[in-house]
């Protein structure tokens, strides 16, 4: 393996290509643009498709269409564009169409501070789309993870037939780091399940037991119906309570039944720590530095870095809480993932927050100051 | 004597329960018959065709017919269709929209699909009203018309969908009505054979939410209105300026050759050396 100097957005491009992405549609928006630029250059050379659409609604619409035709597909955007995509995230969720959406968080609300980092879209990623729906949200915190989690985003979306969101921020998007990327034979790829039975007896949305029905592509000879309406096993619209209820529950269950496999977090110095930091994205980097400095001063501090934000890794977080007196959640927002931490805490320990909305990175010293304040 | 089985049965889903959701007198059913007959006369197989629809009464067509079918979001059918066509160019992509669907909420997608001249056959069923939501004004509702959302009369002049498609770059633009059922079928057939982006506007009737308020008391009266207020090119030749006043032109309005998006993609492949 030879080292490469890459920025986060470039690593996303390389991750998508390594995952087999053949279709990319996007609308220009800072600070996600290097992803579109990379795809515009790379995809046509590889027989893939790049299209710059008239808006972000069209981007995700085209991505879903391409995925239904059998192509692994992705889009990339930032806050305001991500808001426009919510309508189609909801559609991809109910119609069970695999797709990957990269959202580079920038300072908001609205146009905000377009060229500075933020973590203000955590809850938008979880709940932004209308209707009760499951979602998977991944959060890299290094350039190498921008690569690996983009690959995993494709794998999870194919496996569960669901939209997957990769949430990074402007800081990470433009950060350049030395990385060693794996070769293609070292990367495990997942493809969507295909029907084993012939078209005549195929029932497109019948639960095979896993909650994930096999998915033929348009043109494969399985002429089935795809709709954003609640549908029965055959794909036809239904309003019957005895069909709608199990259908929506299956959408959730297909992901939640694998909950144990989705506890993607990394712990640092947590063997004997009583004050633990829970952080994600670029803030987790500052968190680790702060932990190391605190350790040098003799404080028993640890870190849990979240790589998956949703479904929220309740198990790993509560394990950490069992041995903690205090949890500190630093975030570049007014407190979004800390709400999840507080939700699962149920009185186990104190939960402190450190929030910054100046739309600039949280420095290790700021976290260290907070640690020292808590230590008293 | 054995009754000949109608050709549309070949294309209706056997697994879907009928009747359809459309109201008695609705023009959509007549359109579906014409569409299926036009498809039957084309060389496309059921497996090759992807029928994409938006939201509204017209959006429900995809439920009943035996193709690869996709019922999308309101106004966005063309965006999904774009992705399908680009990812799998061998598929024949047909998009069905309503008037509100295509030129209100989907207006942006409509003009850009036409501008790209992407290989999609699009059909807009124009009944001049939002039928499914109960009769609100649409961008094709006539000026001064009273609707449930314009109880004192419509303040907005209507769009001419065909002129919009023409200006945006559509290769083929045509208009028909559900009254002219054979004419409609032939125009859809022509659109299916044409390269590039094609747009056929079908003037249809909503007796429940439009006719009732417009003083046209039945579907029959509304279809007679279509007959009396439209004119084909052939008929227009024999009429004076005065007689043509206020008549809606039907037939092929634009038929031009222009490079399609797919053709440009092919030359891009040569440029990049992609296999």
Tokens 């598929």 appear where?
Answer: B91
Contact map slice: B 79-98 vs A, CB within 8 A: 79-88, 90-91
B63 and A54 within 8 Å at the Cβ level: the answer is no
Q: Confirm or reject contact between B20 and chain A (CB < 8 A).
A: no
Per-residue pLDDT reduced to its tens digit, A115-129: 999 999 999 999 999
**Which of A53, A66, A221 is the closest to B47 by Cβ?**
A221
CA distance, residue A70 to nearest chain B CA (Å): 8
Which fold does the domain A268-375 belong to in CATH?
Answer: Rossmann fold (3.40.50)
Res A26: pLDDT: 98
CB A320 within 8 A of CB A351: no
| CATH 3.40.50.970 holds for A4-186 | yes
CA distance, residue B88 to nearest chain A CA (Å): 6
Residue A286 has pLDDT above 80, yes or no: yes
CB A163 within 8 A of CB A92: yes
- The H or E element that residue A151 is part of is helix A143-160
Q: What is the mean pLDDT of residues A338-358?
A: 97
Residues from chain B contacting residue A62 (CB–CB below 8 Å): 79-80, 82-83, 86
Whole-number Å distance between alpha carbons of A264 and A278: 13
Residues from chain B contacting residue A129 (CB–CB below 8 Å): none
Res A72: pLDDT: 98
Q: Which residues of chain B have pLDDT under 70?
A: 1-2, 275
> pTM for the whole thing?
0.97
Res B275: pLDDT: 62
Residues from chain A contacting residue B114 (CB–CB below 8 Å): none
- Positions of E strands within chain A: 4-7, 23-26, 49-52, 73-78, 99-107, 113-117, 136-138, 163-169, 176-179, 225-227, 265-268, 275-280, 301-306, 308-310, 326-331, 350-355
Locate A155 and state its tokens: 């794998």
Per-residue pLDDT reduced to its tens digit, A207-260: 999 999 999 999 999 999 999 999 999 999 999 999 999 999 999 999 999 999
Phi, psi (rounded to 5 degrees) for A136 = -115, 130
Q: Do the first three CATH levels of A4-186 and A268-375 match, i.e. the same topology?
A: yes
Average pLDDT, chain A: 97
Q: Which of B47, B84, B94 to mutate: most A Cβ within 10 Å?
A: B84
Whole-number Å distance between alpha carbons of A331 and B80: 36
Per-residue pLDDT reduced to its tens digit, A20-72: 999 999 999 999 999 999 999 999 999 999 999 999 999 999 999 999 999 99
Q: Please report which confidence band the pLDDT of residue A312 belongs to, taking 50, 70 and 90 as the band edges.
A: very high
Residues from chain A contacting residue B119 (CB–CB below 8 Å): none
- DSSP annotation of A353: E
CA distance, residue A81 to nearest chain B CA (Å): 16
- The domain segmentation of chain A, as residue ranges, is 4-186, 268-375
A189: which residues sit within 8 A by CB, 6+ positions away? Answer: A19, A20, A151, A154, A155
B86 and A73 within 8 Å at the Cβ level: the answer is no
Share of chain A above pLDDT 90, in %: 99
In the 3-class helix/strand/coil scheme, how is chain B assigned residue by residue? CCCCCCHHHHCECCCCCCCCCCCCCCCHHHHHHHHHHHHHHCCCCCCCEEEEECCCCHHHHHHHECCEEEECCCCCHHHHHHHHHHHCCCCEEEEEEEHHHHHHHCHHHHHHHHHHCCCCEEEEEECCEECCCCCEECCCCCCCCCECCECCCCCCCCCCHHHHHHHHCCCEEEEEECCCHHHHHHHHHHHHHCCCCEEEEEECCCHHHHHHHHCCCCHHHHHHHHHHCEEEHHHHHCCCHHHHCCCEEEEEEEECCCCCHHHHHHHHHHHHCCC
State the burial class of residue A230 (Cβ atoms within 10 Å of its Cβ: 0-12, 13-18, 19+).
Answer: middle
Res A315: pLDDT: 95
- The domain segmentation of chain B, as residue ranges, is 23-272
- Would you tell me which CATH number, out of the four given (3.40.50.720, 3.30.930.10, 3.40.50.970, 2.40.50.140), belongs to the domain B23-272? 3.40.50.970
């Amino acid at each position: 393996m030879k080292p490469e100097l890459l920025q986060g957005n470039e690593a996303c491009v390389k991750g998508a290509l390594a995952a087999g992405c053949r279709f990319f549609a996007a609308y220009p928006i800072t600070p996600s643009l290097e992803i579109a630029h990379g795809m515009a250059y790379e995809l046509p050379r590889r027989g893939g498709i790049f299209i710059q659409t008239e808006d972000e609604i069209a981007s995700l619409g085209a991505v879903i269409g391409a995925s239904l035709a059998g192509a692994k597909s992705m889009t990339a955007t930032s806050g305001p564009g991500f808001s426009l995509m919510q309508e189609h995230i909801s559609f991809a969720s109910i119609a069970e169409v695999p797709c990957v959406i990269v959202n580079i968080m920038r300072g908001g609300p609205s146009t905000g501070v377009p060229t500075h980092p933020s973590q203000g879209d955590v809850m938008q990623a979880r709940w932004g789309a209308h209707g009760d729906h499951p979602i998977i949200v991944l959060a890299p915190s290094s350039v190498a993870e921008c690569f690996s989690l983009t690959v995993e985003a494709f794998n999870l979306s194919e496996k569960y037939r669901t939209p997957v969101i990769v949430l990074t921020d402007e800081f990470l998007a433009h950060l350049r780091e030395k990385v060693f990327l794996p070769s293609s034979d070292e990367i495990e790829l997942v493809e969507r399940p295909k029907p084993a039975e012939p078209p005549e007896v195929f029932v497109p949305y019948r639960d095979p037991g896993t909650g994930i029905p096999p998915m033929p592509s348009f043109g494969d000879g399985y002429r089935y119906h795809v709709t954003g309406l609640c549908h029965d096993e055959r794909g036809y619209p239904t309003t019957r309570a005895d069909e709608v209820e199990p259908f929506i529950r299956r959408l959730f269950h297909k992901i939640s039944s694998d909950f144990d496999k989705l506890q993607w977090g990394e712990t640092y110095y947590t063997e004997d720590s009583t004050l633990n930091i829970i952080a994600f994205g670029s803030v987790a980097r500052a968190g680790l530095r702060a932990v190391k400095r605190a350790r040098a001063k003799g404080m028993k501090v640890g870190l849990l870095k979240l790589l998956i934000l949703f479904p929220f890794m309740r198990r790993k977080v509560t394990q950490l809480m069992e041995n903690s007196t205090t949890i500190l959640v630093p975030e570049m927002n007014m407190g979004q993932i800390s709400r999840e931490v507080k939700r699962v805490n149920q009185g186990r320990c104190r939960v402190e927050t450190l929030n910054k909305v100046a739309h600039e990175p949280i420095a290790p010293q700021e976290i260290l100051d907070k640690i020292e304040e808590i230590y008293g | 004597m054995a009754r000949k089985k109608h050709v549309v049965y070949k294309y209706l889903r056997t697994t879907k329960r009928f009747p359809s959701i459309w109201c008695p007198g609705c023009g959509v059913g007549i359109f579906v018959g014409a569409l299926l007959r036009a498809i039957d006369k084309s060389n496309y197989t059921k497996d090759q065709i992807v029928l994409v629809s938006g939201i509204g009464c017209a959006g429900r067509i995809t439920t009943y017919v035996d193709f690869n079918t996709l019922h999308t979001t309101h106004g966005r059918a063309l965006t999904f269709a774009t992705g399908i066509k680009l990812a799998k160019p061998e598929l024949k992509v047909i998009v069905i929209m309503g008037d509100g669907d295509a030129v209100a909420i989907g207006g942006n997608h409509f003009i850009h699909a036409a501008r790209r001249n992407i290989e999609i056959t699009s059909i807009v069923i124009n009944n001049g009203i939002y039928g499914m939501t109960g009769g609100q004004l649409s961008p094709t509702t006539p000026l001064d018309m009273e609707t449930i959302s314009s109880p004192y009369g419509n303040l907005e002049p209507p769009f001419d969908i065909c002129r919009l498609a023409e200006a945006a770059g559509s290769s083929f633009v045509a208009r028909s009505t559900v009254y002219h059922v054979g004419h409609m079928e032939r125009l859809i057939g022509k659109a299916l054979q044409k390269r590039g982006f094609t747009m056929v506007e079908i003037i249809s009737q909503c007796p429940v939410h439009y006719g009732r308020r417009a003083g046209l008391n039945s579907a029959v009266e509304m279809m007679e209105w279509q007959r009396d207020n439209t004119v084909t090119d052939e008929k227009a030749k024999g009429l004076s300026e005065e007689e043509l006043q206020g008549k809606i032109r039907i037939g092929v309005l634009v038929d031009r050759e222009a490079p399609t998006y797919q053709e440009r993609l092919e030359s891009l492949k040569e440029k990049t050396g992609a296999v």
